[in-house]
């Protein structure tokens, strides 16, 4: 979303508010399921990582970094999830996966430090750092909701997750939203907002827990690997970014890392 229409935090507030309304409306047509009182705190903490920090850091990071940097750093999420799964869920980690984690993090670090962008005046290292923190935050969220997906229907806890997230985001995005000149919105800008609210937010946050209910967290994360390819090609095609040997090398390290992390042992079924 172009900042000429709305600033990042205001856009985040619209995104979450719209998705929250959709989740609550849809929940009216589904069987009611009561949430245990002890799980409300888990939902609140999950909203901090999965909604508030995740979205604020990502969109703020995009102010400073480039689409290629952001998308490449974002695919470290499966690697981070693997690490957190080993620490929190006590899952076994093979030597091959350790090598993959190391290569992926080296690639992400190169992109974070490498300070060139197609746009003059960008603070690329800061932007990349914010996007990387966003990736960590989202990974924590995925680990946190794994058990909740087995206990509740997605609409049951997602509607509360987004309501808590919306309440926390209001202080950050209210002024940006108040400053929006709605009459300047073009049809293309309006459809962009609708797509982000319905597809990128409502759809993504609904289908992730559905997938987590059937698959391992690290398996769900594999689909993130396609982001740098799509975002990078699109950014280059519209002149919003450029590619060079350093970016290619860093992304190859990340791809190799995530391949090794997701590779099953020979004796796996």
**What's the whole-number mean pLDDT along residues 147-163?**
88
User: How would residue 172 be classed by pLDDT, with cut points 50, 70 and 90?
Assistant: very high
For residue 151, the SS3 value is helix
Give me Rg for the CA atoms of the chain. Answer: 19
Share the mean pLDDT of the chain: 80
Does residue 184 lie in a domain region? yes
- Note down the domain range covering 95: 8-27+35-262
Tokens encoding 247:
């970016």
Using CA atoms, how far apart are residues 135 and 19, in angstroms rounded to an integer? 21
pLDDT at 79 over 60: yes
**What's the whole-number mean pLDDT along residues 236-240?**
58
Contact between 20 and 159 under an 8 Å Cβ cutoff? The reply is yes
Q: How many residues does the chain have?
A: 269
User: How would residue 214 be classed by pLDDT, with cut points 50, 70 and 90?
Assistant: low
Cα 180 to the center of its chain, rounded Å? 25
Does residue 251 lie in a domain region? yes
Does residue 71 lie in a domain region? yes
Does residue 3 lie in a domain region? no
Does residue 223 lie in a domain region? yes
Does residue 2 lie in a domain region? no
180 secondary structure, DSSP code? -
Write down the pTM of the prediction.
0.76
Contact between 8 and 63 under an 8 Å Cβ cutoff? The reply is yes
pLDDT for the residue 120 = 46
pLDDT for the residue 1 = 53
Does residue 1 lie in a domain region? no
User: Which residue is it, tokens 């590779």?
Assistant: 263
User: How would residue 261 be classed by pLDDT, with cut points 50, 70 and 90?
Assistant: confident
When divided into structural domains, the chain yields a total of 1
Residue 48's alpha-carbon distances to 55, 89, 148, 187, in angstroms, are 10, 20, 16, 33
Does residue 269 lie in a domain region? no
């Amino acid at each position: 979303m172009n900042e000429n229409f709305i600033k990042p935090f205001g856009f985040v507030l619209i995104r979450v508010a719209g998705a929250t309304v959709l989740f609550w409306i849809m929940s009216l047509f589904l069987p009611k399921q009561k949430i245990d009182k002890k799980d409300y705190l888990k939902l609140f903490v999950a909203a901090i990582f999965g909604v508030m920090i995740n979205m604020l850091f990502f969109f703020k990071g995009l102010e400073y970094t480039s689409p290629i940097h952001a998308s490449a750093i974002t695919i470290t999420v499966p690697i981070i999830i693997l690490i957190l799964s080993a620490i929190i869920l006590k899952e076994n980690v093979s030597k091959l996966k350790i090598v993959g984690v190391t290569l992926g993090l080296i690639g992400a670090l190169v992109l974070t430090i490498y300070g060139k962008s197609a746009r003059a005046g960008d603070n690329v290292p800061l932007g990349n750092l914010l996007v990387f923190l966003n990736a960590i935050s989202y990974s924590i969220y995925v680990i946190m909701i794994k058990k909740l997906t087995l206990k509740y229907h997605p609409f049951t806890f997602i509607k509360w997750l987004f309501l808590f997230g919306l309440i926390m985001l209001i202080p950050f995005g209210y002024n940006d939203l108040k400053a929006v000149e709605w009459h300047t919105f073009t049809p293309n800008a309006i459809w962009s907002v609708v797509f982000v609210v319905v597809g990128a937010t409502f759809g993504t946050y609904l289908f992730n827990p559905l997938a987590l209910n059937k698959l391992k967290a690290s398996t769900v994360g594999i689909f993130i690997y396609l982001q740098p390819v799509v975002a990078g090609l699109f950014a280059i095609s519209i002149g919003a970014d450029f590619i060079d040997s350093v970016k290619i090398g860093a992304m190859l390290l990340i791809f190799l890392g995530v391949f090794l992390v997701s590779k099953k042992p020979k004796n796996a079924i």
